Amino acid sequence: MNTLDHQFIPPDNFPEFGIGVIGAGFIVRDCHLVAYQQAGFRTVAITSRSRARAEEVAAARGVPRVWETTEELLDDPEVQIVDIGVPPQFQAELIRTIARHSRAGRAGGIRGILAQKPLAMNLADARDIVDHCAEAGITLAVNQNMRHDQSVRACKDLLRRGLLGEPVLGTIDMRAIPHWMPWSRDLHSLSTFIMSIHHLDCFRYWFGDPVRVMASTRPDPRTTFPHSDGINLYILEFATGCRASSWDDVWSGPVREGTAGDIGIRWRVEGTAGMARGTIGWPSYPEHTPSTLDYTCQQNGAEWIAPRWPEAWFPEAFRGTMGELLLAVRSGTEPPISGRDNLKTLALVEAVFSAARDHRVVELAETNVS
């Protein structure tokens, strides 16, 4: 059995591209910039709403320049790629600003943007910014980094090779307690757009696009600010007959209120010729906990194969999302995580949110993604 493709391996000469970062929060400091250093990517500048915070992160991660404003960063002649790390409600207008600036600014300026997920808080805004980037000649990618978790990517390799046969059923069982950032209390959706989007995109990555969804949600008892979608349960139906389901349990029992805990994320994919199962190490962060994969297939007989790798989702997976964007910019192609492809992920997120809110089956054809 050949080694599974579990991690993006960057070429040696990506320092040709200079990366400018907008934002200086946790995900930039401890995931993006750490992963880029590991991969040999060249981060040349950073800006943030807080100059002091940007300077602190720049000093910690070896970023040579701190700019006061986004416009100054975009005018930096070494910046060809913009890495965005801002809350989702501010991202759409920021991307429009970058696109307008690129059309009016220096020749050969911004060539690529890595946006955070969700790309926008509604499909109409997402379509608009995808079009803005296309008109400006900017390659837009979305940081759907769960695709680059090693167990998720290795499972995709098993599916791609046909070792599991035709997919029959995929499940994710999440029992974890996210740290909701202060900006999340201002959103119309909590868990669906911020947490479940990972798993919904993962199902698209593994199985393609579903045709309909069913969903149910309830508030999380621990989260004190008003919200409608906390604990999410949903089922996806695919035209092939495959089904996928996830239990996104952000409560996970009264663990912080005095009981014993059972925290973790487990997934399983069953096919006509094999099965794969895995764990996701993210809930143990900041402890560096690699995700795991076990699989069995008819080709290898009645045994479980358990490859293990030292990398983890945080931060190593973030090499993959930026790396895919850099490769696409170099080759003039669309990255697998392109903004236009991500419209289908966002449409699926909206469909799940609507299905739970309205207590109905939602057909993905209703979203009219184009």
3-state secondary structure labels for all residues of the chain: CCCCCCCCCCCCCHHHCEEEEECCCHHHHHHHHHHHHHHCCEEEEEECCCHHHHHHHHHHHCCCEEECCHHHHHHCCCCCEEEECCCHHHHHHHHHHHHHHHHHCCCCCCCEEEECCCCCCCHHHHHHHHHHHHHHCCEEEECCHHHHCHHHHHHHHHHHHCCCCCEEEEEEEEECCCCCCHHHHHCCCCHHHHHHHHHHHHHHHHHCCCCEEEEEEECCCCCCCCCCCCEEEEEEECCCCCEEEEEEECCCCCHHHCCCCCCEEEEEEEECCEEEEEEECHHHCCCCCCCEEEEEEHHHCCCCECCCCCCCCCCCHHHHHHHHHHHHHHHCCCCCCEHHHHHHHHHHHHHHHHHHHHCCCEEHHHHCCC
- Please write the tens of the pLDDT for every residue from 302-315: 899 999 999 999 99
Average pLDDT of 207-230? 97
How much is the mean pLDDT over the chain? 95
pLDDT band, very low/low/confident/very high, at 204 (cuts 50, 70, 90): very high
For the domain with range 146-312+346-364, which CATH number is right: 3.40.50.300, 3.40.309.10, 3.30.460.80, 3.30.360.10?
Answer: 3.30.360.10
pLDDT band, very low/low/confident/very high, at 272 (cuts 50, 70, 90): very high
Class of domain 14-145+319-338: alpha beta
- Pick the closest to residue 70 from 38, 34, 99, 46 (CA basis): 46
The pairs formed by 216-224 with CB atoms below 8 angstroms and a separation of 24 or more are 216/356, 216/359, 217/191, 217/192, 217/356, 217/357, 220/190, 220/191, 220/250, 220/251, 221/251, 222/177, 222/250, 222/251, 222/256, 222/257, 223/180, 223/190, 223/250
Q: Is the pLDDT confidence value at 1 over 60? A: no
Give pLDDT, residue 256: 93
Other beta carbons less than 10 A from residue 259's beta carbon: 9
Give pLDDT, residue 103: 76
Give pLDDT, residue 157: 98
Give pLDDT, residue 108: 60
Q: Is the pLDDT confidence value at 97 over 90? A: yes
Q: Is the pLDDT confidence value at 354 over 80? A: yes
Average pLDDT of 91-103? 93
Q: Is the pLDDT confidence value at 105 over 70? A: no
Residues linked to residue 22 through DSSP beta bridges, in sequence order: 47, 84
pLDDT band, very low/low/confident/very high, at 107 (cuts 50, 70, 90): low
Give pLDDT, residue 106: 58
Give pLDDT, residue 169: 98
189 contacts: CB under 8 Å, gap ≥ 6: 121, 228, 229, 353
CATH 3.30.360.10 maps onto the chain at 146-312+346-364
Average pLDDT of 178-184? 94
- Please write the tens of the pLDDT for every residue from 130-140: 999 999 999 99
Tell me the percentage of the chain whose pLDDT exceeds 70: 97
CATH 3.40.50.720 maps onto the chain at 14-145+319-338
Q: Is the pLDDT confidence value at 370 over 60? A: no
